Amino acid sequence: MSIRAALLDLDGTLVDSIPDLAQAANAMRIKLGLPQLHQELIAQFVGKGIDNLVRRAMTGGNDEAEVTAEAFIVAREHFVDAYHQVNGDRATVFEGVIEGLKSMKGAGLGLAVVTNKPTVFTEQLLIQTGLRSFFDAVVSGDTCPTRKPDAGPVLHACFLLQAAPADCVFIGDSINDAQAAQAAGMPVLIVPYGYNEGNSVQNLKVNDIVETIVEAAQWIERHNASADQPDLLT
């Protein structure tokens, strides 16, 4: 079956947003009277939405630490305020993204972003990085009742693109992306340069690991060329 649409994760797949996220997280910690954390550590907190990032940035990644609801609300407000000010300032588009997206658009594929980042930050980042015009649909962390790794946002993107899940492919960088795509019933490609909470993607059960979005576009092209071949046994 030919692939008609590609769904792509944002942070860690299309854009390296860690410098901005780390700056906002450390601004939050300063407000809370805490020392700053290394950017490499904060990168391991990214991928499951802002609430997870804030909570882990508060505790330095100690998942056993107690965080009261009141303290979390204050910290989240500090983070959101700081991130509004820096979102997109130092974020960079990964190598191969522009070329890969152009190739997919040229092949007639529908394109959507599916991210756990809230809408206000998603749109700002896509516009700042010049990527917004590539996408026919954007599904953010607050678009649906659930977020990745739940299948809901992925299925909603399919609905917006008017494409069946089996006719789509998901391209991401983490286990959240793989689980969401597989739960939605579509193939998934993973790039190795993203975040994945500091873990290697080599052990993820995915259809393929592609080095760049250009390679993802080539993978889709090969898949569709194979799907278009007549079955010689019939």
Give counts: helices (H), strands (E), the chain: 9, 8
- In whole angstroms, what is the distance from residue 59 CA to residue 29 CA? 10
Strands (E), 142-219: 168-172, 188-190, 208-209
What single DSSP character describes residue 233?
T
Distance of alpha carbon 28 from alpha carbon 33, whole angstroms: 9
Quote the CA–CA distance of 125 and 207 in Å, as a whole number: 29
Residue numbers annotated as active site: 9
- The rounded distance, in Å, linking the Cα atoms of 215 and 220 is 9
